[in-house]
Amino acid sequence: MSLVCDAYYDMENSKNDTIDIRRQKVMAQYVTFRGQRDIECQKLKEASKILDHLSGRGGLGSWEERLLAETFLLRSALAVDLLKNKIRDDYTSISEENSVPIGTIVLSNFKFHLITPPKHHHTEFYVLLLTSGTEVKCSKVARATNNEIVFDEEFSFLVDRNFRIKLQLHSIVMKDSSLFYSIATLFKVKDCQRRASLKLQYKNVNTCDFEETKVLKTAFKLCAETEVVASNLRNRAWELSLMGGCSVNEFADFSAKMTNFGIQYRRCGFLTMGCHFRDVVVWNRRWCVLDGCLLKVYNSPSDEDFGEALFVISLADCPLGEVKEASRTECTRRRSMVLTINEEDRVVSYYFMADDSQDLTTWLSNFNLILDLLRFKNVHNL
């Protein structure tokens, strides 16, 4: 009875330790994301001050100055929203993280088609925003030529298997400048000064003081958007979700591809390994390193740096596509996993016994995560 109680308490303590580690990770991420959000808030404040200054000059100033400030407002406002949502979602959840980078998505050669040309005496500028998680990337400002909007740029994102990259096309209309400024022009400047604002609360990264301020909302308007996910990665034409009053065609052209596919995952620890030797399973305690889709087995941790692995097992050769806990009829030792591998013209079974139930659950989860990623690669021909 005492042994059962001790085992139960050990298991509960192991679970609590795991939860504490996850909480520490969440808090560390919270501090990081909060700092990034504060930086973006400060960018919003500076860009808003520039636009206020230009408006105070009676609307004078080059388009380049206005466009640069408006682009900063657009990009940083989106970054603040994404970071705010990330902070909220992560802070209310301590679930286990299974986000494993698998490669880089490269997007390039963007072309959008206009249905109707811009109005006379108006110039329409376009910006492309791309987001993945909390990462935001912004294109250079472009204008339509021959009813086509072209962004000759390349953007890359490090992604996991659940990647979702959102593309948004934004536009801003500027009236062509005149030699003479009329009363109507002055009224338009006042309207610009009265446009919508946004209240921010953040920590100044320079003074470490908490500040509250109002910033202008960008004059850029969302025209169209679409998403890149694993299932449509090989598309050539992309269907757009169009906003009201948008003059863009419902399909856009751009290239999306994955490069450098590789499972960037590592776990190591001691397991007791069982191998068939004639008709007997021989057990030895080994240092095991799961490095991507390869399981490397050593005598000790020091051999990892100075010696060769005793075994190198590729999970890509697992015909079952799953690692399970071994049944008692298959293996008499408790907390044992069976890993079946195709080796040349035969099938070999390796057994690995974990030190406790929590360790068994974690290793099973790790093995099957890698196998799941390998299936993902095969399904999408990556």
Q: What is the DSSP string of 302-314?
A: THHHHS--SEEEE
| Domain ranges for the chain | 2-259, 266-379
State whether CATH 2.40.160.20 applies to domain 266-379.
Answer: no
Task: Write down the pLDDT at residue 26.
Answer: 67
Task: Write down the pLDDT at residue 328.
Answer: 85
Question: In this predicted model, what pLDDT tens digit does every residue of 287-297 receive, in sequence order?
Answer: 999 999 999 99
Tokens of 316: 């890509």
Task: Write down the pLDDT at residue 330.
Answer: 85
Please say whether the beta carbons of 259 and 98 come within 8 A.
Answer: no
pTM score of the predicted model = 0.77
Task: Write down the pLDDT at residue 30.
Answer: 82
SS3 at position 343: strand
| CA proximity to 271, closest of 302, 252, 251, 299 | 299
Task: Write down the pLDDT at residue 207.
Answer: 83
| CA proximity to 11, closest of 365, 355, 333, 334 | 355
Please say whether the beta carbons of 77 and 42 come within 8 A.
Answer: no
State whether CATH 2.60.40.150 applies to domain 2-259.
Answer: yes
Q: Using 50 as the pLDDT threshold, list the residues of the chain that sit under it.
A: 1-12, 14-15, 94-96, 178-193
Residues 53, 59, 61, 67, CA torsion sign: positive
Question: In this predicted model, what pLDDT tens digit does every residue of 223-241 receive, in sequence order?
Answer: 999 999 988 988 888 999 9
